[in-house]
Every structure is written in C-alpha cells, then in structure tokens.
Amino acid sequence: MSCFWLKWSFIALFAVTLVSSRPTHVYRTIYVDKLGQGNFSTIQSAIDSIPAKNTRWICISVMAGDYKEQVKIPEGKSFIYLKGDAKKRTSIVWGSTGSPFTSPTFSSLADNIIVKRMTFWNSYNYPPKDGSTVTQAIAAVISGDKSAFYQCSFLGLQDTLLDARGRHYFKACNIVGAFDFIFGAGQSIYQGCNISVINGGIDNRLAGFITAQGRQSPNDTNGFVFKECNIMGTRQAYLGRAWGEYARVIYFNSSFQASIVPQGWDAWVATGHE
C-alpha cells in the first residue's frame, strides 16, 4: 500500500511543479487571427514557423473564432504556450475518423507544452444525433511529456481525448463524450474538471464508459487521477473499462451527478484478471 501511494504522491508533485512553472519569461509572442489581423491566419502556420529543437518559451496567442483546421505540434517543437482568447470563443474544429495518427483535430506530440482557454472539437459525430455513427473520432491526442491544459474543452462522442503517454495535468477543463472518451496510458491528473457523459449515437439505453485506461504492466507508472472533478450527464455510465490488464484510475474527492452503473467498472480486455 505504501508503494502505491508513493507513486501517486510523485504524480501529485509533478502536477504542483507544472502549476508553478507556467512560462513567466516568454521569448516572443506570435499572434494568430483568422481575419488576417495577426502574424498568421491559421494556428498550424504559426506552429510551423517555430524552429525545431526550440528551447525557449514561445507564446502563440490565438484570437477568438472557429479555426477549421487540423493542428499538430510535432515532436521536437517544445516550449510552446498556446493561448486562446477564451475556451468558448477560441475553437479548433475538424471532422474526421480513423487512425489516431491521422484523424485527431489536435495532436500534441512534443514535450513541455502549455495550452490555455482553447476548445478542441471533432465534429465528425459531435454534437451527436440519434443514429450518429459511433466510431473513433478523436478531438485531441496528447503524447508529449510535461504537458498542461488549463480551462480547455474537449468535445466528441467516442474516444474524445487520447491521453496517450507522458505526464499531463488538466485543470478546470471540460471533457465530453459517451464511450471510452478519456483513454490511453498517460500518467495524468485531472483537477477540478467537468466530465460529461452525453446521449446520442447508438441506443441510449446502453451504458457509456468514461475511461479506458491502458496500463499494461505492474511496473508501469501511468494511470489517471480525477481530483475534485464533477462527473455529470444524462447517460448511464461505467467509471471505466480496462484497456490493459493493469488499468489504474482513481476518482478522489469528486462529485457524481451522472448515473453510474452499480458495479462501477468493466474488465473488458482484462476479463479473468480482476
């Protein structure tokens, strides 16, 4: 038991470090305005302008608007501070399904990334309608180490947020979906977030799944911690199902306004290894 809590104390310490290490010394700021009043009119072109192996914080300040583009921060373009005007006013919107390598609206693959007040929306099946296709349609994939998201929204139906790998911190974010909509093998804390389980798609009498955590080995340090979060929504849901035989998810001091399936969890691929 002591080793278990030592691991999660380490994650908590990481989160505190991220909070206290927001970039106070930004080398320069790039402005993006879809109306043409900034340095660039698209977010991707601003990211492309940053040199590879960057080592100094660069702020990309994005004016209000819906930016209809796929955006990728590639490996090697670290120390980017992506700042929106407001999470309900600055959105990246794309509608695509398929591979996690090609379909996400937003991909953050580099280390040392901070994002604030942005909405990431995969419009392929969100907002859902009765009969909407239920298939993977990722709003964001996060696979770089030491990444933090403040006051952001992630909107989708299935597989909304791929928290793939690395240490991540989400503070005061909104995450929306119905099936496995927070999934992956990240080592992450979600603090003060709103987690919404929505109706739509296939028969609404079928329960949804909030998480699909992918820890594969007892030696893996990854897992999801939901601290002081609000779990809400109209659809009945499981807290999660195991995407790996050692899946690990903790809900701590959180409020459950959604209707949670009484057994709480589904073993899924780890059936027989409970």
Q: Is the distance from CB of 248 to CB of 185 less than 8 angstroms?
A: no
- CA distances in angstroms from 234 to 27, 131, 170, 211, 226, listed in the order given: 45, 17, 23, 17, 20
Residue 181 counted as domain residue: yes
Q: Annotated catalytic, 159?
A: yes
Task: Say which of 111, 159, 220, 266 is annotated catalytic.
Answer: 159
Residue 43 counted as domain residue: no
Residue 77 counted as domain residue: no
Domain encompassing residue 197: 2-24+84-270
In the block, which residue shows the tokens 């239920």?
134
pLDDT of residue 24: 66
Residue 70 counted as domain residue: no
The pTM of the full predicted model, rounded to 2 decimals, is 0.91
Q: Across the chain, what does the average pLDDT equal?
A: 90
> What would the two tokens of residue 87 be?
């999470």
Task: Say which of 33, 66, 163, 180 is annotated catalytic.
Answer: 180
Q: Which has the higher per-residue pLDDT, 10 or 245?
A: 245
| Per-residue pLDDT tens digits for 152-187 | 999 999 999 999 999 999 999 999 999 999 999 999
pLDDT of residue 200: 81
Of all residues in the chain, what percent carry a pLDDT higher than 70?
92
Q: Annotated catalytic, 220?
A: no
pLDDT of residue 6: 39
> How many domains would you assign to the chain?
1
Residue 13 counted as domain residue: yes
Residue 61 counted as domain residue: no
Residue 175 counted as domain residue: yes
Rounded average pLDDT over 224-248? 96
Residue 38 counted as domain residue: no
Domain CATH number, residue 149: 2.160.20.10
